[in-house]
Structure 1
């Protein structure tokens, strides 16, 4: 799989870097992520530790990986570059990255038991895509203890959640009232994420997580897009034309990972079309006598069929009752 995320390698000289991590954005689910880290010198007989939010997730050194120190969340999905150790390359690759992988990563280099360098990376999600009526977790992580720090969540200019050390102030906006919560047990590790209960398509949009100092000034902010996708049913229309029957399959409000297909009675694909924006339209001409129907596949969400139409060899055609053929198959998202 193509590596879609890349950070410029930084050469460390034995000094610990500042507290501000380099920021990376996870732009798509299931992409491979390269977390780059390089130290000056040969690492083949040294020890390198990667941790996430203060917890060790991957340790390698003395030419081998310590299996017991590979975190279960990343098992079989994380690796380093053995051939690059001689030149100081301590980078790792995470395959099929998930929303749960976002957080603060640290690359630590140890020589003779002493820490010689530190490199921090803040992996944030640029999007969250879920099915309608599922709970949406919007990730936001800072590299500090947030127990006594104020942070604010907004959608556009509307406050939907505010936390400070005097208590939690939830949104009074009717759309979010009673539906937004946070993770109090994870504040010490810098987790300012929130959960929106039973997300609706109306909840889709750009959200902002802001950290606010004691003077009430914004110190930093993170942006994330929430995409709530509903299981859409396609529509089918037919028009008799001179050379046959024109079939039009349409659906609105679909995800980009959708596909519309026109199929015949045996399930063979006659024509297929990908979406443009949030809509998808398939328009084609059929001349062969057969039963035809439209199939909308929304990846990880559902598959929906339309009613079948019968195109005879003559001029006429008719619709088979949709109640006989319409079905919906829900699929798992896999996060």
Structure 2
């Protein structure tokens, strides 16, 4: 029994040693050529360059290579000077007319491609495949990450707010009220007013209601005169990276009306001051002698008439 336990213990230590050796060997073996994945990050709408160059810088003008997205989508195919940019068919419609290579760099072993006007759908894993390069296959991997920006997506996303109602209300002492309304919105948007320089206008009133999972939002803001009197109602849906802006111009005369509202108050103050001073002086002039006369009559020794 003891010998069995001892053998079991030795076997356990031997297995641990073997696993450690396997781990060390795996760490020492270099990765296969082109197996490392490169990450490329660009903002949506900008251009992206996906690099691919064989290890031996072979002249690629008479070679064949194929760029694929996510293992199956045809991005760009090249074979002995024939490719998608000069009439070859088979390219996925998503990339048609947007992908090119650096033809003057092919002889130096550069098979990189250029994708212009990137879209969110371009994000993914790309592979640059050389099926018969120096009698063997070589594959290079690139992960493309498209960073979304806020822009108008109403033409491509049915959930994106497409209609914004704006209105100029009657002028007040606080400025010109601008009203912005959004109806049946989902996901819930943020709504605000801003001037032509992008400065937010504080809201004087905000109303939000929800019906059947959709939102109705009304924002009112009092604005004052600017250099061009242009203002924008901005609607932003963060979840779908959608932003729509509606421009409105406030006529100069609207701000003049605001000033006119303050004149009655100013005029009343001026008139009150102009009238009050003479009347006050008159009252003082009449009251003071009367007080002095009454005081004198009550002094001791004064004659009562």
Q: TM-score if structure 2 supplies the norm length?
A: 0.46
Higher relative contact order (CA 8 A, sep 6+): 2
Greater C-alpha Rg: 2
Name the structure where strand makes up a greater proportion of residues: 1
